[in-house]
Chains A and B, each alone.
Chain A
Amino acid sequence: MAGRDKPGGGRVINHIRLLRAAADGMTQGELATRVGVSRQTLNAIEGGKYAPSLEIAFKIARELGRPLAEVFEFVER
């Protein structure tokens, strides 16, 4: 689980790493290719260093076969 501070007093966290493991151990490279970003960008998203656009977030959720809210969530500080 990783996240990044947002100006609104909360942060977006994600469960991509866990869900990749649950999805037959899909690698970071495989998911990055399917979503259309570099492996380094997917690594930054997983590590909470980059909050992706809605388009990429939806693509990640679709490739993991999960609803968006299961992959990303907003937590109040």
Chain B
Amino acid sequence: MLPSFEERSVWVQLIALGLGLGGYFAAAGPMLARGVMETTPYVAVFAVSLVLLIGVMIAGHIIAAVFGGTEEEDERDRLIGWKAEARSSWVLGLGVFGAIGALVFGVEGVWVANGLLLALFASEMLKLALQAVSYRRGV
């Protein structure tokens, strides 16, 4: 049986986020390691990755809708989403506290901003992965 549209959407988001923000960190990581502290190069890389993310998201959802159609979200989809959110939000919380701590200790703003973005990225990836697992293994 073909997965529901909501499940297919989770996979599209997982791939889009992995390519988009994963690509950003693949490029920004070496820049940070080289000691680049100006924000402009990071903003440029982020803009490109954002375009990639949105493009994959739109194309992926169109393909998901064409192959298998669409149906409205139901209570199982909502429950899977809520549970995944509850189990993954601690990652973002940890990142926020880490960023506050980093600011207190005078860490460079570029590091703090990238750390926050990494926490958001990790939190979303974990949420989507948990959703994908719940669709297969049951709630």
Contacts and interface: CB of A to CB of B under 8 A. Distances in A.
A67 interface: no
A65 B75 CA distance: 23
Contacts of B3: 40
Contacts of B137: 49
A38 B71 contact: yes
Contacts of A47: 138
Interface string B64-81: 000000011011110000
Nearest to B72: A38
Interface in B1-19: 1, 3-7
B4 A40 contact: yes
A44 interface: yes
A39 B138 contact: no
Interface range on chain B: under 10, 10 to 19, 20 to 34, or 35 or more? 10 to 19
Contacts of B76: 37-38, 41, 44, 50, 52
A66 interface: no
A41 B132 CA distance: 14
Interface in A19-71: 36-41, 43-44, 47-53, 56
A40 B138 contact: no
B4 to A, nearest CB: 4
B139 interface: yes
Nearest to B80: A50
12 contacts: A37-B75, A38-B5, A39-B1, A40-B3, A41-B75, A41-B76, A44-B76, A49-B137, A49-B139, A50-B76, A50-B139, A52-B75
Given A39-B4, A40-B7, 13 more contacts: A37-B74, A38-B4, A38-B71, A38-B76, A40-B1, A40-B4, A41-B74, A41-B77, A44-B76, A49-B137, A50-B138, A50-B139, A56-B75
